[in-house]
Structure 1
Amino acid sequence: MKFKFSIIFSFFLYITYGQINVKGKVVSKSNQPLEGAAVFFNSTTIATITDENGEYQLTVPEGKYKLVASYLGFKTVEREVDINENTSLDRLNFTLEEEDSLLNEVVIGAKKKTKSKKPKYEDFLVFKEAFLGRTNYAEKCKIDNQKALKYYFDPATNTFSVEAKEPIIIINRDLGYKITYNLEKFQIKDRIISYFGYSQYEELEGSKRKKKKWKKNRKKAYHGSLRHFLKTFITANTKEEGFDINIMHRVRNEKHPSDSELAFSKKIFEFQDKRSVPINFNKVIVKPESKLDSAILIHQRQLKHPKIIDKLIKRNVSYSDISYRVEGKVYLKFDGFLKVTYNNEPEEFNYKRDIKRRLGVQKSNFLLFDSPQEILPIGQIADQNNRLVEGYWSYELFANALPLNYKPPKE
């Protein structure tokens, strides 16, 4: 089964080179200092905890960030900050509000969620695969506190969702990170997986041999990734970095049966079913001799020819064909979607389950719901809600993610 993944993962990160101290305080609504609250820049290794007075201090490069404060039992709060020499850096304070005491009293519309009745471990495996992925790195990833996860299923909307009563602790043994993830939303609906949260990265302790392995694996995880691809629009070297781009459109397949043909075949099959007449759907029919033969042919066409197909619009486009610069900012603009091939790495064996062809070089689809969209210097779309990935990029999920302040080593 192929999945489309919409990764809802918000942040800002414009990094420059000036290091600046950031100070602040984290308190409750009653103005009580919260000792031990986590304060971090989202999806980075830049983090700390508050002291007994609820105060914190961080040193960061100049840039635009999302600064996050998190404390168990309280709602996570974020602040978009533009840190530079003119920023008031000693008053980046947070006031946290206590969470509702009953996690399972969350409401969808006017109805409460139905707690999943599947075995808990089966639910966990569904979540783990949809969140971390099935890559080689995902196999070595461990969620330390899986008992913190609560699973729900809404039969009315066919939606599977997961909540966490505390931050999820992820140990990525292949990339060398401990990740504290504040899960705000996770759901699977209509074969689309979406999640949103805040992640804090921490380097694992390890021997020189392990650190050398982690460095190699991080470089491999970065190369060919969506972030690597988007970064090449900033550096203007998409082709040189190994990416080929085709512009595609999705169109109706003329070989697929029409709605009226499908309605006709359904009516014939229902009639045969009422008469308890068995139907040979695999019957070889050269020329239909009855209405049932015609209905079977329609059914066979439906199985053989998908309703929607991808049509090539333009092959081997340059980064300059689909992007432009305004006042130093880079914007991506195109109609349809991009079929992106990364030629420098093969697809992993585990990916074979998702495709009907032989394994080859990495191929992904990239779609913008609204165009144009700004590409941030770190290699991300500014509005993460406005993009969707398919193919190999939807196979490489959170287990392959790197902190946003990761910089690949120079060749």
Structure 2
Amino acid sequence: MKPCLTILLFFLTATCFAQYKITGIVYDADDKKPLPGVNVFLNNTTNGTQSNPEGTFSINNVKPGQYELIVSMVGYQTFHYVAKVNDDIKVPQISLKTKATSLSGVNVKPRPVSKRNISDFKDELIGRSDFAKQCEIINPNVIDINYNSADKILTASTSGFLIIENKALGYKVKYLVNDFIKDEKKLYVYYEGYVQFEPLEGNAAQQQIWRRNRMVAYNGSSRHFLRAVLANDIQGEGFKMYKLSINRDRPSDSLINAKLKQFWASGMANTNISVSKDSLNYWRAKQLLPNYFLSGELSVKAIIHPTDQRSLYAISYPEKFYIGYKINKRNMAIGSMPNFIGAAQTYSLGNGETVLTIKEPFAFFDINGVFINPSAIHMEGYWGRQRVAELLPTDFEPTESSL
């Protein structure tokens, strides 16, 4: 029989302060000799090291949770290992394979891409926020971009770690982009890869600004929400969840667009001008109706489920649901949320407003508030707009004094 969520949450309070160690040794797969100077880090954290002359490494002060251990060295294929940390871990022998080199004398010219393609990639990866304006890509030469004009799909990856200086949050972000897709027809963006954070050096004033900005990025984020869920205190942390019900008074987008096109054409043809004008106004009014209504508050138990794995949790819900966050929660009690969201073909979601769709039976997250399979989740609104400019390492700890 599964233990109830409240028991698991109680267990969390006793384990979240524990810290462990990950050790291992790295070899060359060909000559079986130890490899020194290999970059070893936990994906999406500031926690990393290099292997010593004997090829061994040790990453200390690791909090419980599930991590990807990344082992990377120039000239070798990147190695990754899923580490479920509930105790000290010794990683099985790591053998790095050399990268295949291209044939000499063969020159392949890449397809030319426009400045707009490059700009789209940067905007979707880093974002368009005020924090994004303070981010700088140091080595754009590692970006490989391709644009399919027929399908209107932009794809990209990086041949090495893309180095981004985030002067808003005070991090050097090293991002190996394995996959990037922007589908303009489906209005879909997805990217994934390996990330390592290094704190920037700064004086006391800069450090204070960075601490404040990091709290701005953290507050209301998915990680903040999931940690609030695990603490069983979403309202105390400024969140509320609501069910969404389709507005039956609003026709489908396809019907609205067809009617608008029909009566616009009639008006342009000067036939029944008054009727066409009235019909246009009618369907424009329909277009402005909200897509959904907030139809009832959701509890944590309705969406969060325990698993048979220690420190791993599941989130599921059969429909879209709404998460609202009060930005100024320190001086504002939680009041009523909007009673509807969205108009036309896109939602009108402001800061602190997110709509989630769980695309698979379950999405999983660990006790650090990090989604393990992010491709299982579709985010619209506030969380969907957050990009690398707002990205914080997994080992970031919020401090109220920074607000």
Fold match by TM threshold 0.5:
yes
| TM-score, normalised with respect to structure 1 | 0.75
CA contact (8 A) 1:75 1:96 kept: yes
The one-character-per-residue Cα deviations of 1:145-181 (angstroms, maximum 9, x if unpaired) are 0122122112343210112122100111111111111
5 Å-filtered alignment, 1:88-99, equals 89=90, 91-99=92-100
CA contact (8 A) 2:77 2:96 kept: no
Query: What secondary structure sits across from 2:59 in the alignment?
Result: strand
> Aligned match of 2:303 in 322, 325, 330?
322
The one-character-per-residue Cα deviations of 1:328-352 (angstroms, maximum 9, x if unpaired) are 7543232211222211249xxxxxx
Deviation at 1:390, TM superposition (A): 0.9
Distance of 1:236 and 1:172 partners within structure 2: 33
Deviation at 1:403, TM superposition (A): 0.3
Matched, 1:66 2:54: no
Equivalence for 1:218 = 214
Q: Report percent identity of matched pairs.
A: 21
Deviation at 1:22, TM superposition (A): 1.2
> Aligned match of 2:113 in 102, 114, 117?
117
Matched, 1:141 2:135: yes
Distance of 2:211 and 2:382 partners within structure 1: 22
Structure 1: tracts of 5 or more residues without a match: 1-13, 106-111, 273-278, 288-292, 347-353
Matched, 1:280 2:306: no
Amino acid at match of 1:310: N
5 Å-filtered alignment, 1:164-243, equals 164-189=158-183, 190-243=186-239
Distance of 1:215 and 1:129 partners within structure 2: 24
The one-character-per-residue Cα deviations of 1:224-263 (angstroms, maximum 9, x if unpaired) are 1111112111011111111122211457765358769949
Amino acid at match of 2:193: G
Moved more, 185-194 or 316-325: 316-325
CA contact (8 A) 2:27 2:34 kept: yes
CA contact (8 A) 1:150 1:162 kept: yes
| RCO higher in structure (CA 8 A, sep ≥6) | 1
CA contact (8 A) 2:67 2:82 kept: yes
Query: What secondary structure sits across from 2:113 in the alignment?
Result: coil
The one-character-per-residue Cα deviations of 1:99-154 (angstroms, maximum 9, x if unpaired) are 5538xx9xxxxxx99724313xx333211110011111111011100122122112
Distance of 1:210 and 1:373 partners within structure 2: 37
CA contact (8 A) 1:345 1:361 kept: no
Equivalence for 1:50 = 51
Distance of 2:131 and 2:156 partners within structure 1: 22
The one-character-per-residue Cα deviations of 1:179-228 (angstroms, maximum 9, x if unpaired) are 11111011101221110100011111111221122111111211111111
Equivalence for 1:336 = 319
Change (3 A) 1:168 1:282: farther
Deviation at 1:75, TM superposition (A): 2.6
| TM-score, normalised with respect to structure 2 | 0.77
Query: What secondary structure sits across from 2:26 in the alignment?
Result: strand
Equivalence for 1:8 = none
Matched, 1:367 2:357: yes
Change (3 A) 1:282 1:235: farther
Query: What secondary structure sits across from 2:327 in the alignment?
Result: strand
CA contact (8 A) 1:132 1:138 kept: yes
Amino acid at match of 2:304: S
Query: What secondary structure sits across from 1:407 in the alignment?
Result: coil
Deviation at 1:92, TM superposition (A): 4.5
Count matched residues.
Answer: 364
5 Å-filtered alignment, 1:279-298, equals 280=268, 285-287=273-275, 293=276
CA contact (8 A) 1:236 1:319 kept: yes
Distance of 1:330 and 1:264 partners within structure 2: 46
Distance of 2:86 and 2:228 partners within structure 1: 26
Query: What secondary structure sits across from 2:212 in the alignment?
Result: helix
CA contact (8 A) 2:23 2:56 kept: no
Change (3 A) 1:147 1:300: farther
Query: What secondary structure sits across from 1:405 in the alignment?
Result: coil
Equivalence for 2:398 = 408
Query: What secondary structure sits across from 2:136 in the alignment?
Result: strand
CA contact (8 A) 1:253 1:306 kept: no
Query: What secondary structure sits across from 1:227 in the alignment?
Result: helix
Distance of 1:62 and 1:261 partners within structure 2: 52
The one-character-per-residue Cα deviations of 1:362-397 (angstroms, maximum 9, x if unpaired) are 211111112443332111233212101111112221
Equivalence for 1:310 = 291
Distance of 1:18 and 1:225 partners within structure 2: 24
More strand by proportion, 1 or 2?
A: 1
**Superposed CA RMSD:** 3.8
